[in-house]
Amino acid sequence: MTEARIPIADVLLPLAVPAPYSYRIPEGMALAEGDYVEVPLGPRSYIGVVWETRETGGTNLKLRDVTLRFDAPPMTALHRKFLSWLSDYYLESLGNVLRLSLRVPAALEPERQRMAYHLGDKRPDKITPQRARVLEVARDGFPMSERELADLAGVGTSVVKALIKSGILKPVALPAHAPFQKPQLNPSTKRLNKSQEEAAASLRAIVSARQHKVVLLDGVTGSGKTEVYFEAIATALAGGAQVLLLLPEIALTPGFLARVEERFGVPAAHWHSDVRPRERERVWRGVTSGEAKIIVGARSALFLPWKNLGLIVVDEEHETAYKQSDGVPYHARDMAVLYGAIGKFPVVLSSATPSLESLVNVDRGRYASVHLADRHGRPELPEVRLIDMRAEKIASGTWLSDPLIAKVRATLDSGDQALLFLNRRGYAPLTICRACGHRMDCPLCTASLVEHRFRRILMCHHCGHQEPVPKACPKCGTEEKLTPVGPGVERLAEETQKLFPDARLAILSSDLARGQMLRDVIREVADGTHNLVIGTQLVAKGHHFPHLTFVGVVDADLALESSDPRAAERTWALLSQVAGRAGRGEKPGEALVQTYAPDHPMMRALAAGDREGFLNGEKRIRESAHLPPYGRLASLILSGNDGLETERFAKSLARLIPEAKDVEVLGPAPAPIALVRGRHRWRYLVKAGRDVDIQAYLRLWLKDVKPKGSLRLDVDVDPYNFL
């Protein structure tokens, strides 16, 4: 007797599940691996991806049927492999990782024609004020959707619907989505200089070879790296591949997108948190169909289900913004390299201040390196001088030293632009009562509340808690004694305004402007509308401000003391990048750095322009401490609503720590920010040798750990946050 063979699909769902679930493939449905399907689970239905198809012999299997197969291009085997590897690497459930690639379910449906409406010849018999407003809006002649008409007229959609029904608004069908245009592969209009030409030739050769290789493109700000990697992109596009250009979110400025468009003759599709749902849908479809050839995106663009990815460029590769801080804690640069490795295509990492990780990979011969020597036709990097703040006399409540003020004045007098850099949002980082010493802390976090004077609130930068600035101290009740301590950009702006009342001042800070508004301010800084700019790290990243000749760093020491092993490296990168904003136009630039630690090796190297010296010192420190990239790290964060319960849970894990060679476990200890959003936090830090399989070690340790109730265990492999 032969058993009936039943076709099965193992379907991965975007839920916190480690593996696919099995479903029966109903008769008449043809399914292949990678297909998007809808399946039932409990009372609900979910969209998932067919991970595997097989047949089974069991006859009494109680499996539910796949309900629906979407008529969309399948997720490629390569992309599925990428997700699996990522899941293994970060010890994150495969389903949670899939979720990153299933962000646009609407794109799985057939493209709908969009209906829009315009005014016909008929006029309504009865006119209400609401109807009149809709007709007023529709008179424009532009066909608009029901929703657009309703929103613009400030009425409910029912009013619009009624007008459609009575034939007063006439329907027209709009094309579903604008198609993607083919990039133009004309040669660059810019004549590359010798150094750029050599670099471009190496990149072209690497891309043409269609093999996996990682190249570090290393050159000071303004040396023309972008022009060079554009050549790599052109080569990949000419070979028919799709290209992803990754940028730290903040650098996705219109100026940059315009450059891409100028070089490749088509608007680049972009992908980041501000992109509207309809455009997301269009990009998603274009990426899966292979029609979209070049995408400029923030880290999450890696998870678009690529059809034929052939090159990833990671610009500003040292940026820690590439590390996702919540959800799946992946590092987009590292995962770009992984994708390239399994997809056998090249990855270009570009930076003026490459990460130590990448530099050491070059030392080890794992990455190729391409140098750009000079600033393209520009003056050399700005001269950097330190101001020893221990020797400066500064009135209390002010932060600018005399030499810095003099320099700003001279810059403004000569018609140039100056930038003051302070990496602190808000007005003041701390508020205390001068009567009783009470300090305004966040009720939910171990953190002080930051005053934001423009918005008249106190705000926690960890959880977003806000409260109005009180008149009286909440502890002792004394009025008018609450005092701001320390500077933020808003307070610095106040001081600056007093000193330079005629300056055209702009503040660049993420909480004062976002999205389009922020892009507008950046454009106005670039075109010289403002001549004095105060900014947080937002200004450090990739912008081109041609009128800027002077940069003053108000407090260079902010980031130096910290439990973060990369603190010196990050401060170095930030200060070099900020200083590098000066002198990108015709005139040379100059930077002054206020510091209380002028003897710190990093500060000395910065002033001497001695990058090699700094990096060599930093490598020695990391190597002797077995820190990345000479060793591996992972953090365990245990959290819960109850302090005692969380502590017990954290300590209970200590008994399970496995013995292993070359692995050291530090902790448990209360996290430096021991309370976030009312949740208590404890940490372990795992330090392992470079050759240790840290994932296997963690799996062994945690295999029987099942947090209950409000308790949670979060694993962070290659952590960048130590708070």
Name the site residues for ligand ADP (rule: CB under 6 A): 190-193, 196, 219, 221-227, 376, 544
Cβ atoms of 550 and 418 closer than 8 Å: yes
72-73-77-78 Cα dihedral, nearest 10 degrees: -120
Closest CB to ligand ADP among residues 192, 539: 192
Q: How far is the CB of 516 from ligand ADP (least distance, A)?
A: 23
Task: Report if residue 518 touches Zn ion, rule: CB under 5 A.
Answer: no
DSSP three-state, residue 396: coil
Tokens representing 443?
A: 């009720």
**Member of 378, 465, 491, 622 binding Zn ion (CB under 5 A):** 465
Closest CB to ligand ADP among residues 282, 584: 584
Q: How far is the CB of 221 from ligand ADP (least distance, A)?
A: 5
Contacts of 693 (CB under 8 A, 6+ apart): none
Closest CB to Zn ion among residues 450, 591: 450
Task: Report if residue 462 touches Zn ion, rule: CB under 5 A.
Answer: yes
Closest CB to ligand ADP among residues 425, 541: 541
For residue 346, whether the previous peptide bond is cis, meaning omega lies within 30 degrees of 0, is no
Q: How far is the CB of 48 from ligand ADP (least distance, A)?
A: 41
Q: Which residues of 510-537 are buried (b: 16+ CB within 10 A; e: fewer)?
A: ebbbeeeebbebbeebbebebbbbbbbb
**Dist CA 697 CA 671 (whole Å):** 22
Q: How far is the CB of 322 from Zn ion (least distance, A)?
A: 25
Strand partners, 683: 637, 669
* Other C-beta atoms lying within 10 Å of the C-beta of residue 456: 10
H or E element, residue 81 = helix 77-90
Of ligand ADP, Zn ion, none, which one does residue 193 interact with (CB within 5 to 8 Å by kind)? ligand ADP
Of ligand ADP, Zn ion, none, which one does residue 463 interact with (CB within 5 to 8 Å by kind)? Zn ion
Closest CB to ligand ADP among residues 348, 717: 348
Of Zn ion, ligand ADP, none, which one does residue 192 interact with (CB within 5 to 8 Å by kind)? ligand ADP
Tokens representing 719?
A: 């952590």
Closest CB to Zn ion among residues 460, 579: 460
- ∠696-699-701 over CA atoms, to 5°? 110
Q: What is the 3-state secondary structure (H, E, C) of 132-201?
A: HHHHHHHCCCCCECHHHHHHHHCCCHHHHHHHHHCCCEEEEEECCCCCCCCCCCCCCCCCCCHHHHHHHH
Closest CB to ligand ADP among residues 193, 529: 193
Q: How far is the CB of 415 from ligand ADP (least distance, A)?
A: 21
Closest CB to ligand ADP among residues 2, 189: 189
Residue from 593, 415, 583 nearest 502 by CA? 415
- The mark string for 431-450 relative to Zn ion (x by CB under 5 A, - otherwise) is -----------x-xx-----
Q: How far is the CB of 190 from ligand ADP (least distance, A)?
A: 4
Q: How far is the CB of 255 from ligand ADP (least distance, A)?
A: 9
Tokens representing 556?
A: 């260079």
Of ligand ADP, Zn ion, none, which one does residue 34 interact with (CB within 5 to 8 Å by kind)? none
The one-letter code for the residue type at 66 is V
Of ligand ADP, Zn ion, none, which one does residue 587 interact with (CB within 5 to 8 Å by kind)? none
Closest CB to ligand ADP among residues 313, 433: 313
**Member of 362, 408, 460, 539 binding Zn ion (CB under 5 A):** 460
The one-letter code for the residue type at 101 is S
Beta strands, E only, 25-130: 36-41, 44-56, 68-69, 114-119
Of Zn ion, ligand ADP, none, which one does residue 196 interact with (CB within 5 to 8 Å by kind)? ligand ADP
Cβ atoms of 673 and 723 closer than 8 Å: yes
Contacts of 384 (CB under 8 A, 6+ apart): 579, 591, 592, 593, 606, 607, 609
Of ligand ADP, Zn ion, none, which one does residue 434 interact with (CB within 5 to 8 Å by kind)? none
Closest CB to ligand ADP among residues 225, 547: 225
**Member of 207, 236, 260, 463 binding Zn ion (CB under 5 A):** 463
Tokens 């600056």 found at: 496
Q: Name the segment binding Zn ion (CB under 5 A); options: 253-261, 313-321, 463-471, 578-586.
A: 463-471
Of ligand ADP, Zn ion, none, which one does residue 225 interact with (CB within 5 to 8 Å by kind)? ligand ADP
Closest CB to Zn ion among residues 79, 465: 465
Tokens 């850099």 found at: 421
Contacts of 652 (CB under 8 A, 6+ apart): none
Of Zn ion, ligand ADP, none, which one does residue 222 interact with (CB within 5 to 8 Å by kind)? ligand ADP
Q: How far is the CB of 227 from ligand ADP (least distance, A)?
A: 4
Closest CB to ligand ADP among residues 219, 248: 219
Of Zn ion, ligand ADP, none, which one does residue 445 interact with (CB within 5 to 8 Å by kind)? Zn ion
Q: Name the segment binding Zn ion (CB under 5 A); options: 456-464, 515-523, 526-534, 623-631.
A: 456-464
Cβ atoms of 349 and 260 closer than 8 Å: no
Q: How far is the CB of 399 from ligand ADP (least distance, A)?
A: 30
DSSP three-state, residue 468: strand
DSSP three-state, residue 97: helix
Cβ atoms of 49 and 12 closer than 8 Å: yes
Q: How far is the CB of 523 from ligand ADP (least distance, A)?
A: 15
Closest CB to ligand ADP among residues 190, 514: 190
Of Zn ion, ligand ADP, none, which one does residue 221 interact with (CB within 5 to 8 Å by kind)? ligand ADP
Tokens representing 120?
A: 């016909």
**Dist CA 416 CA 400 (whole Å):** 19
In the complex, the residues that contact Zn ion under the rule CB under 5 A are 442, 444-445, 460, 462-463, 465
